[in-house]
Structure 1
């Protein structure tokens, strides 16, 4: 990779790992408080810690790591960034970083204890919302830089499909830009005027709907970079081939189409939304199963083909041939396996009847920790084990690789304790987002305590995993021997013609827009028409 491009990418990775350390510490404090055996010192509030944990890990860590990975992928596969694109990328980075610092300041001052979902009627200081808006605007700036770079490649190669990793990067950023329109709208039109005192009230249903228009695609923004690694990087790491280029592209397009018009399945218990529209969006939610199964088929086909090429026999003999002692493979593979129960939990969350059992319980938090905190984060660790030394001009030693294997086991064990206990406690009705002081007198509290203690044990183990990850990160950035580390980009198993229709962005964005308009136009009209009396203007407040 171009050294100047590498500096841009590694800058994003640095911020991501700082967020991991601080957010992980807040997560440890959370589960200790939930166990009822620990009290926060120095007047620190539980919800202050909870907000910091969610913002740093759910938004800052993921967004910075993903954008750094996408810039590096584009530079590697579509050629070095030109000066204009690189400068735009740096502008995006500094705007995002400035917004992150502003947001963090007001959380630390305890003026923005509103959780990462910041639901009204909770109100934060205007600086919190302005900081979040800057993070979004900065990410848009980086996204436009990526689009410009990919467009430049297409102009030079007009009758060719773009490089697979670059194509996936563009799809990921397109999903992010379309999804963040919702959260940008509610922050700029509703929350900032409200927090500044320019209006005295806002429409809560509209604010929640705009948030969840963004909130569920956010999950796929986290997942798609992990899928990029699973589809394209892991086959190269193990010495195999990508099963199908076209299948990979189609699955990413389907994720773009089906991830947007599904936010109502987070609002199944809320009045003001016609049940018919909730039913429609639940159906669209389950459509995401299609590209997920396509991904699973493609991945395990690649694994089996590799194993057969190494002489594996029998139905599952290929499993023994996989490089289990390579942390670049092992960490993402554990993430893949954990995505199976995570997907099953997602089906429960999106099903109207089953959702009634687990809604607003800690079950949902457990599901969250299986998807983002396990499948995605373990894959990000696996990416780090080759991307960081590639960007810093170093190599990962055998000793560091062994430490990375230990880190993966520590993380998996810690998450097993934490997530499993969250799921069981949720089935018993343990509330989400609550500390022991708020639910300790509930009649069922005695039933929940063993699971809360198990969460604390899991959280402690996970924090050990974070410390090990930081040791590996420092080693790969500053201490590892100098050398060249490969940026592993897989090749397809057989020569195939990739249909150019996959690069028809007008078509796919047009279909995405139509699905969004179909799923949201009439419900929004109903919300505005039936807004509470006394609402002004467009009845957004």
Structure 2
């Protein structure tokens, strides 16, 4: 559907290909959990910014860092993980084919393992037994149930990823010597990256933090635990981002009535993300004294390599937009912009996310640059950066996808009324995030610390200096929470309103006939896995060996694990 794309497809007696109802139920189960996390985590975020602005004081026994942990874990991990696997399940079913009963069962097992783990971790945080923030750094210690819950979440994601991957492998066997559907290939890339990245954090949780919290060992090596975490932590950013890229590359061209500029370019960018997303975690540890500077430099170089697929993506997407605008009669240099469907929230929300990702990416270059990182490390600048990349570019794209995905999966449609509300919600989100993120960046340049409440700033003069920026964060955060409430209202209407029954398309773009044929090497995962493993081993083997060799625990005879 293009033009008046929010109208029902059935109005023209066009019945789009539907995701199998059994797969749709699995997808929707993930989405329900994701949006419960969105509400609770969003409320915790609102409380945070109000406390930092010295507007409210939390009642006992709730403390700021407990709320901070709720916000980070529920939005940074639970919202994103559940939505991504819900979206990927639906996309794999739509583009590659309906899951088999065994594949679907594996998906359900993964969902319930993830859900049980989420409840375990959430309960411990709410009981103030796991106030260890989003990064759960040692020597902060949580209850063992929290760590066990996190381990179950990771294991559940492996099962969900395996379910999707088996369907793609089945398609490859049934269609030898053919190029697989683009979005299916992208899902495999994301799942591969996720599996490799989570090995580090699973090792940290299972062999360090969990035994430590159970009292099996007295101490753990803090530097080793942080290194294992960040071998996962930065790849997590791309795990969030690549599903948004799937929407940008595959869905948006269909929404605007155009075609995918280049299948090969899209696949190449995803392969590059897979290769350069995992062995770069040390750039989060540039101020850690226990890691040799040469290895930090090596990983910073690999980090900068990620700029290349980002630029490829920008070129490909804006080429698609311009070509479509020219087809609709645009003549001037930028007149094609006027031809884009600005009134269609399925385009508008992801496009705003794309635009915000430009300054977000620029801030990421600052974070990963050794000299500039010294200025902003552990300041609230970094938090502002996350809110541009993940909380705006990614989350706005997820919102835009929800507006057609949920109706498609539930036999309903995106009406004109809901489309208009979606536009308003997108503007509210972008405005709120703009105010809050700019305030965070500015306060960070003045040295305002991240993860700290107003009462912990220590020094009246400094607190007064930063207070105006904290007020800006409170204003932006309030707008964001209003946008969350509006989004959830739209979601409820799209899911359960009986007046919205109908058909909504799951937009899957086709490749331009002018694009060159995709070379088979891009789907040679045996080659890419070998290169990925080699990069990870080169980037981490010696640094981890060096950390263990020089560990005070090791030299005194303590067990590292």
Report if TM-score (shorter chain) is over 0.5: yes
Alignment of 1:382 onto 2:400: yes
* Mapping of residues 46-195 of structure 1, within 5 Å: 46-195=64-213
Report the counterpart of residue 335 of structure 1 in structure 2: 353
**1:494 CA displacement:** 1.4
Report the counterpart of residue 266 of structure 2 in structure 1: 248
Contact 2:250 2:260 in 1 (8 A): yes
Report the counterpart of residue 11 of structure 2 in structure 1: none
Report the counterpart of residue 319 of structure 2 in structure 1: 301
Q: Say which of 522, 535, 540 aligns to 1:520.
A: 540
Report the counterpart of residue 308 of structure 2 in structure 1: 290
Alignment of 1:499 onto 2:519: yes
* Mapping of residues 472-487 of structure 1, within 5 Å: 472-479=490-497, 480-487=499-506
Q: Say which of 480, 483, 487 aligns to 1:469.
A: 487
Contact 1:387 1:487 in 2 (8 A): yes
Indicate the SS of the match to 1:240.
coil
Structure number with the bigger relative contact order (C-alpha 8 A, sep ≥ 6) is 2
Report the counterpart of residue 235 of structure 2 in structure 1: 217
Q: Deviations over 1:451-506 (max 9, x none)?
A: 00110010000000000000011011101511111110001111542111111111
**1:540 CA displacement:** 2.4
Report the counterpart of residue 275 of structure 1 in structure 2: 293
* Mapping of residues 289-438 of structure 1, within 5 Å: 289-438=307-456
Equivalents in 2 of 1:197, 1:27: separation in Å? 33
Q: Deviations over 1:53-108 (max 9, x none)?
A: 00000000000000011111110111100000000000000000000000011001
Equivalents in 1 of 2:396, 2:59: separation in Å? 31
Runs of 4+ in 1 over 2 A off after TM superposition: 440-443, 533-541
Equivalents in 2 of 1:146, 1:442: separation in Å? 54
Q: Deviations over 1:228-279 (max 9, x none)?
A: 0000000000000100001000000000000011001000000111100000
Indicate the SS of the match to 1:258.
helix
Equivalents in 2 of 1:530, 1:473: separation in Å? 53
Equivalents in 1 of 2:168, 2:369: separation in Å? 39
Report the counterpart of residue 540 of structure 1 in structure 2: 560
Equivalents in 1 of 2:433, 2:354: separation in Å? 14
Distance change >3 Å, CA 534–CA 225, structure 1 → 2: closer
Contact 2:553 2:560 in 1 (8 A): no
Q: Deviations over 1:152-182 (max 9, x none)?
A: 0000011011100100011111111111111
Contact 2:220 2:553 in 1 (8 A): no
Contact 2:442 2:469 in 1 (8 A): yes
Report the counterpart of residue 507 of structure 2 in structure 1: 488
Equivalents in 1 of 2:500, 2:295: separation in Å? 57
Contact 1:528 1:538 in 2 (8 A): no
Return 371-380 or 431-440, whichever deviates more. 431-440
Equivalents in 1 of 2:408, 2:377: separation in Å? 44
Report the counterpart of residue 207 of structure 1 in structure 2: 225
Distance change >3 Å, CA 79–CA 533, structure 1 → 2: closer
Q: Deviations over 1:330-367 (max 9, x none)?
A: 00000000001101100100000000110100000000
RMSD: 1.1
Contact 2:412 2:503 in 1 (8 A): yes
Equivalents in 2 of 1:133, 1:366: separation in Å? 28
Indicate the SS of the match to 1:444.
helix
TM-score (norm 2): 0.95
Distance change >3 Å, CA 470–CA 536, structure 1 → 2: farther
**1:537 CA displacement:** 7.6
Distance change >3 Å, CA 156–CA 321, structure 1 → 2: same
Equivalents in 2 of 1:179, 1:224: separation in Å? 14
**1:43 CA displacement:** 2.1
Alignment gaps of 5+ in structure 1: none
Equivalents in 2 of 1:538, 1:67: separation in Å? 40
* Mapping of residues 251-266 of structure 1, within 5 Å: 251-266=269-284
Q: How many residue pairs get matched?
A: 541
Equivalents in 1 of 2:185, 2:291: separation in Å? 36
**1:440 CA displacement:** 4.8
Equivalents in 1 of 2:223, 2:512: separation in Å? 49
Q: Deviations over 1:4-25 (max 9, x none)?
A: 0000011111111111001000
